[in-house]
Amino acid sequence: QGKVYLFDKVFKPNASQEKVYNEAAKSIVTDVLSGFNGTIFAYGQTSSGKTHTMEGVLGDPQKQGIIPRIVNDIFNHIYAMEENLEFHIKVSYFEIYMDKIRDLLDG
């Protein structure tokens, strides 16, 4: 018997990084800036484009992925605040491959 899987959205192969970010991740950033936790989970077979979607082409504003866009939005929000507040930002970036967990930020 087959299983039913639910999903929110499917993007065309030629969808821009900006479109993917705006439609799949930007609302999570808004929630995080309101005090909620946020998670973006990229799942798929090997070489299906998860890393490209998450990282994109660093240094190219049009082709940067979800992670650099999130970082830009969070820090732009902080710098635009008129209050002098202290922020603590914690980020995790993990890969699960062949049932092994690897921290991608731990060099």
Tokens standing for residue 38: 């946020």
50 labelled ligand-binding: yes
Mean pLDDT of 22-33: 94
Does 63 map to a domain? yes
Q: Is 49 flagged in the annotation as binding? A: yes
Between CA 92 and CA 17 the distance in angstroms is 21
Residue type, 58: L
- For residue 9, being part of any structural domain is answered with no
State residue 28's pLDDT score: 94
51 annotated to bind ligand: yes
Look at residue 11 and tell me if it is in a domain. no
Domain extent for 79? 17-103
Identity of residue 82: E
3 within some domain:
no
Whether residue 7 is predicted with pLDDT greater than 80 in this model: the reply is: yes
Looking at the domain assignment, is residue 5 inside a domain?
Answer: no
Residue 6 lies in a domain: no
Is residue 43 very low, low, confident or very high in pLDDT (cuts 50, 70, 90)? confident
Q: Is 64 annotated as a binding residue?
A: no
**Does 4 map to a domain?**
no
**What is residue 82's predicted lDDT score, i.e. its pLDDT?**
84
Number of domains composing the chain: 1
The 3-class secondary structure across 37-101, one letter per residue, is: CCCCCCCCCCCCCHHHHHHECCCCCCCECHHHHHHHHHHHHHHHCCCCCCCCCCCCCEEEECCEE
Q: Assign 52 a pLDDT band (cuts: 50, 70, 90).
A: very high
pLDDT band at 107 (very low <50, low <70, confident <90, very high): low
Categorize the per-residue pLDDT at 84 as very low, low, confident or very high, splitting at 50, 70 and 90.
confident
Q: What is the average per-residue pLDDT within 94-102?
A: 89
